[in-house]
Amino acid sequence: MIISTNQMQSCFRYLYANFTACIVLGSFVTSLHAQVQPGAKSDQPDFSQVRKLIQEQMAAKSIPSLAVAVVFRGKIVWEEGFGFADREQHIRATEHTMYYLASVSKTFTATAIMMLNERKRIDLDRPIDDYIKPARLSSPLWNPAEATVRRVANHTAGLTTFGRNCFADQHNCHISPDETIQRYGVIFWRPGDHFDYSNLGYGILGEAVGRTSGKSYADFLRDKIFKPLGMRHASLAIRNDLKGYAATRYSSINGRRPPAQSATPGASGIYCSAHDLALFGLFHLKAHLPKQKAILSDSAIETMQNSTVNADENGRYGLGWWVTEDLHGFRSVRGQGGTDDAWAALQLIPSAGIAVVILANTGTDFPSKLSDEILSVLLPSYRQSAAIADNNSPTQRPPVGPEPSLTGNWVGRIQTYKGNVPLVFSIAQSGDVQAKLGSALAVPLKNAQFGSRFGKQLLAGRLAASTLGTDEDTGPEPYDLDFELYLADQKQGQKLYGSVTTRMRSGARFGARLSYWVELEKPIK
């Protein structure tokens, strides 16, 4: 067991309030003292410069707290909390503080799916609809039966962007999982065609776990994953008995946030400590710890990490894992997520037996640099390779104008659960696009982009300060609309189809990323 300096300091400082915990920790003081004595021999990696960097960057970037845990060769070699889990209450962070994992939750959901697959309860290549009845996916253009469990898990089922939270002070925010699927479970792209990261997809997988296992998703996580792996400070949302361990979330824009509940728990609903996430990492490194139950076979772990699809510029994606085949000379397997009020990552270097956990209770770009620094301590060749890569700046592509087949007037609709909203696009040869939504006046489509993607002509852009009449889901604050449309040839005329997604404006306190079907036709002359 690794005992951090923060633990010792907190123990003695709050002796009167934590007498029992101090007795337990006291048994480790002698051995820990020997490790930090000048001249004492130790085979532990030296993270002193990393600690210094953390303290400097937390002050410079106003990061309330951060927790790290590092696994090397089958054991946790460093775990520590920095700063305050709750600034106002002066509660310090430790390696047992529970942070919002955001999209790292997907790796747990994928693990649960693989467990049920090994138990013959879920077939990866059957339609996801078979496991979420009575709910079902829909599509105006594609066959939902082709949206298999595997494709949902690797983000190629045709679902698209979705993000929605309900905060404690938002009234009438919650809708049921079935209603969420009915409103937003739309197959936008041909299943299997291409990668499109979808929180809704993993929310649906969480529902599949609950509906096929006989337990709620939360209970399955607790009974079949957390307990067998020794994870005592992990739960879906924050259980009442664990509230004292929860880190307050601080928005980098709006400050302290009230507690929130994700509309897609399977995608982003788990809270976990750095220590416990390291235990999860040890299992996925196939460490075979005697105190951990083998909840998955090694071959299932291999499938999760190696059965990957192309994720464009983001590398590859397996089942719940981002995969980089060559990260400065090493194969990296990573779960990562973040919002403006949280950041979380679990990075594995399987060939070296390394897992790096970094958690923060605010949105920040620092953890990515921190991960590189930690890996550089453990892998001498990593830093040199990373320095060379940093000198290679990305090339910028010149803007592309519209093909002649895209120019002209397009008339159609945005399809929402409240009804259709009329939409007209007028595309000039110059690349200027005028958009008329409903009864509003035509306005320019901002940042209009043209090109070819997935073998199809693309039109993308943003319509500012719009409304679709779905305020009960989007919230009351103004938002923009992001369009992603593709040209499909039809026997009678031509069609533009795709998605439009709400985007909260900068400074908005609440908001959502909700996608709706768009279909436009070019009238035949």
Q: Which domains does the chain have, with CATH numbers?
A: 1-38 (no CATH), 102-387 (3.40.710.10), 404-522 (2.40.128)
pLDDT of residue 17 exceeding 80, the answer is: no
Tell me how many degrees the CA angle 491-494-496 measures, rounded to the nearest 5: 135
**pLDDT, greater one: 14 or 227:** 227
Whether 48 has a pLDDT exceeding 50, the answer reads yes
pLDDT at 471: 86
pLDDT at residue 14, as a whole number: 38
Burial class (CB in 10 A: 0-12, 13-18, 19+), 103: buried
pLDDT at 62 over 60: yes
In three state form, how does the secondary structure of 35-67 look? HHCCCCCCCCCCCHHHHHHHHHHHHHHCCCEEE
How distant, in Å, are the alpha carbons of 429, 454, 495 from that of 401?
Answer: 7, 18, 19
* Side-chain-side CA neighbours of residue 277 (13 Å): 36
Q: What count of Cα atoms within 13 Å lies in the side-chain half-sphere of residue 461?
A: 21
Closest by CA to 55, choosing from 69, 70, 66, is: 66
Exposure string over 472-506, b if 16+ CB within 10 A, otherwise e = ebbbeeebebbbbbbbeeeeeebbbbbbbbbbbee
pLDDT at 387 over 80: no
> Which pLDDT tens digit goes with each residue over 406-465?
999 999 999 999 999 999 999 999 999 999 999 999 999 999 999 999 989 999 999 997
Amino acid of residue 316: R
Q: How confident is the model at residue 30 (pLDDT cuts 50, 70, 90)?
A: very low
The token pair at 140 is: 């105006």
Share of the chain above pLDDT 90, in %: 75
* Tokens encoding 35: 């490790």
Confidence of residue 23 (pLDDT cuts 50, 70, 90): very low
Cβ contacts of residue 74 below 8 Å, gap of 6+? 282, 285, 287, 289, 353
Q: Is 6 helix (H, G, I), strand (E, B) or coil?
A: helix
pLDDT: is 23 or 237 the higher one?
A: 237
For helices 366-378 and 48-61, what crossing angle results, to 10°? 170
What average pLDDT does the segment 229-247 reach?
A: 96
As a whole number, mean pLDDT of residues 133-161 equals 97
Confidence of residue 253 (pLDDT cuts 50, 70, 90): confident
pLDDT at position 477 is: 80
Burial of 352 (0-12, 13-18, 19+ CB in 10 A): middle
pLDDT of 75 > 60? The answer is yes
Confidence of residue 472 (pLDDT cuts 50, 70, 90): confident
- Residues contacting residue 106 through CB under 8 Å, at least 6 positions apart: 202, 266, 267, 268, 320, 335, 337
94-133 pLDDT per residue, tens: 999 999 999 999 999 999 999 999 999 999 999 999 999 9
- What pLDDT sits at residue 391? 52
Query: SS3 string of 183-213?
Result: HHCECCCCCCCCCCCCHHHHHHHHHHHHHHH
DSSP-based three-state secondary structure for 376: helix
The alpha helices in 119-234, defined as continuous H runs, are: 149-153, 177-184, 199-213, 217-220
Average pLDDT of every residue of the chain: 88
Instruction: Give first-to-last CA distance, the chain, whole Å.
Output: 76
pLDDT, mean of residues 493-518: 87
- Distance CA(407)–CA(427), nearest Å, equals 5
Residues 6+ apart with CB under 8 A from 458: 449, 450, 451, 452, 484, 485, 486, 487
CB 147, CB 137: distance < 8 Å: yes
Q: What is the pLDDT of residue 175?
A: 85
Q: Please give the residue that has the higher pLDDT: either 173 or 238.
A: 238
| Separation CA 434–CA 268 (nearest Å) | 37
- 262: helix, strand or coil: strand
* pLDDT of amino acid 177: 95
Judge contact between 281 and 305, C-beta under 8 A: no
Residue-wise pLDDT tens digits, 328-370: 999 999 999 998 899 999 999 999 999 999 999 999 999 989 9
For residue 398, the model assigns a pLDDT of 67
Whose tokens are 């037996």? That residue is 353
246 Ramachandran zone, left/alpha/beta (phi>0; psi -120 to 50): beta
How far apart are alpha carbons 451 and 444 in whole angstroms? 19
